[in-house]
Amino acid sequence: MAERMVVIGGDAAGMAAASQARRRRDRADLEIVAFERGHFTSYSACGIPYWISGLVPERDQLVARDPATFREKFDIDVRLRHEVTAIDLDRREVLARDLDGGGEVRAGFDTLVYATGAVPLQPDWARGGIDGVFGVQTLDDGTALRQWLERDPRPRHAVVVGGGYIGVEMAEALIQRGLTVDLVEQADQPMSTVDPDMAELVADAMRGIGIGIRTGRTVTGLTERDGRIAAVVTDEGPVPADVVVLGLGVRPNTALAEAAGLPIGPSGGIRCDRRMRVPGVPGVWAAGDCVETLHRVSGMPVHIPLGTHANKQGRVAGINIGGGYATFPGVIGTAVTKVCDLEVGRTGLRERDAGAAGFEFVSVLTESTNRAGYYPGAQPMTVKLIAERPSGRLLGAQIVGRSEAAKRIDTLAVALWNGMTVDEMTALDLGYAPPYAPVWDPVLIAARKAVDALAAAGR
């Protein structure tokens, strides 16, 4: 009799695990059932702002593999609009509710993959059920927002609450749709994923395309008119709104896990070993935005929700379930985004992260260009490096520039991943030609400046 693998969550991590397990074990040996509460599988949530803006014309372009492909090509029983409501580890079964047809389904399992992702942070004031207030965590969320933007009367004024990645990307997307946009952020600047000096470059670019940035403001409530959103109430007064997008961050979706007694780590995510097994619970695996992982620089457990990690972790779990061997070695927090005409990249620790982890460090900021200064189209680029003292080991890096900045962060991520010092980095054999880089690449210039800063600080 075939074993049964049950997957909770049909996006990146869950379907990567299911696909990898299927590649190694056929249906006669392993039956795979995947429950997904939404309407889509394996889609790019990161692409939602670009569909909202119209840059990506069709919603289906964001779907990497639809349920029919999984059923027909991979022989995976995908059950959309089924929300798992309970896990019984003693009976080895899950209970799922059919959201469209009604009723409940019980499914026994030999192997369970918990891949429920993350859920948006939602303060009490956002839970009033007012029409016109949206999160953008899932493709279903994006669909609801797009429909609201296209209904009459068309919204004219948007307020985005929260200035992280999704907040700044959605603010730009709504500007591109022709709305007036205000971004409300409790901190002193948007884009707190980078240090304040780099975040100010982002804020300037946002102001430059007409986004109103209202920092240092705490949202206390919402007001409505005829059941529709009318304003966002802050401690400095109301901000009018016909549509509100919440970008307050996310937390691991662990409610089912906690109820079932799965171990939760200090970051709030499910604890897993390097093979993505849940320790102490035989046959249970977890992957994606619901788990915590090791930060390779700080050595601390962290929750960093990214599709890149989710796909890798799901793949690792599936390989192991399928009888192979794979491990997930941790993360260093590399991320890139486009904000207006800027490319923003970061990897490793920010200054406040390095301080919190107990490192002594120097940080340097350099200005350069993406190409030879005389070559047509050369654009400015700001690079920031953080290096440990006295060792000189790279701890973190950030880049902001108008062209070819985002992918340069990968050079720094590789150096960081491999524990290089800034002194070693000054000799990196990077490609040079005037159309692509100056003789001294911005990465090398920053490394040289960090070496000088370490010398001045007595290393």
DSSP letters for 27-51: TTTEEEEEEESSS-SSB-GGGHHHH
- 459 has a pLDDT exceeding 70: no
For residue 427, count CB atoms less than 10 angstroms from its CB and return exposed for 0-12, middle for 13-18, buried for 19 or more.
Answer: exposed
Provide the 10 A C-beta neighbour count for residue 66: 16
CATH superfamily, with its number, for domain 335-453: FAD/NAD(P)-binding domain (3.50.50.60)
Task: Kindly report, residue by residue over 214-223, the tens digit of the pLDDT.
Answer: 999 999 999 9
Task: Kindly report, residue by residue over 1-35, the tens digit of the pLDDT.
Answer: 799 999 999 999 999 999 999 999 999 999 999 99
In 177-223, alpha helices (H): 196-208
- Point out which residues pair with 229 in neighbouring strands: 224
Residue 292 and residue 175: Cα distance in Å, rounded?
35
Domains 122-248 and 335-453 share a fold: yes
Looking at residue 296, its pLDDT comes to: 97
For residues 445-459, give the mean pLDDT. Answer: 93
DSSP letters for 154-186: PP-EEEEE--SHHHHHHHHHHHHTT-EEEEEES
Which one, of 35, 142, 18, lies nearest residue 99 by Cα?
35
Q: Is residue 406 very low, low, confident or very high in pLDDT (cuts 50, 70, 90)?
A: confident
CB 386 within 8 A of CB 422: no
User: Under the phi-then-psi rule, with left for phi > 0, alpha for psi from -120 to 50, and beta for the rest, what region is 268?
Assistant: left
DSSP letters for 326-337: -----B---EEE
Which one, of 427, 420, 379, 430, lies nearest residue 396 by Cα?
420
Task: Kindly report, residue by residue over 225-266, the tens digit of the pLDDT.
Answer: 988 999 999 999 999 999 999 999 999 999 999 999 999 999
Q: Is residue 458 very low, low, confident or very high in pLDDT (cuts 50, 70, 90)?
A: confident
Instruction: Return the domain boundaries, the chain.
Output: 3-45+63-119+251-321, 122-248, 335-453
CATH superfamily, with its number, for domain 3-45+63-119+251-321: FAD/NAD(P)-binding domain (3.50.50.60)
Q: Say how many residues make up the chain.
A: 459
Task: Kindly report, residue by residue over 87-128, the tens digit of the pLDDT.
Answer: 999 999 999 999 999 999 999 999 999 999 999 998 989 887
Q: What letter does residue 421 receive in the DSSP assignment?
A: B
The structure's pTM equals 0.94
272 catalytic per annotation: no
Looking at residue 285, its pLDDT comes to: 98
For residue 106, count CB atoms less than 10 angstroms from its CB and return exposed for 0-12, middle for 13-18, buried for 19 or more.
Answer: exposed
Mean of the per-residue pLDDT values for the chain? 96
Give the active site residue among 46, 272, 290, 340: 46
For residues 380-403, give the mean pLDDT. Answer: 96
For residue 194, count CB atoms less than 10 angstroms from its CB and return exposed for 0-12, middle for 13-18, buried for 19 or more.
Answer: buried
Looking at residue 358, its pLDDT comes to: 96
Looking at residue 104, its pLDDT comes to: 96
Cα angle 388-393-395, degrees, rounded to a multiple of 5: 65
Which of the pair, 226 or 174, is modelled with greater confidence? Answer: 174
State the architecture of 122-248 in CATH terms: 3-Layer(bba) Sandwich (3.50)
Cα angle 64-69-72, degrees, rounded to a multiple of 5: 165
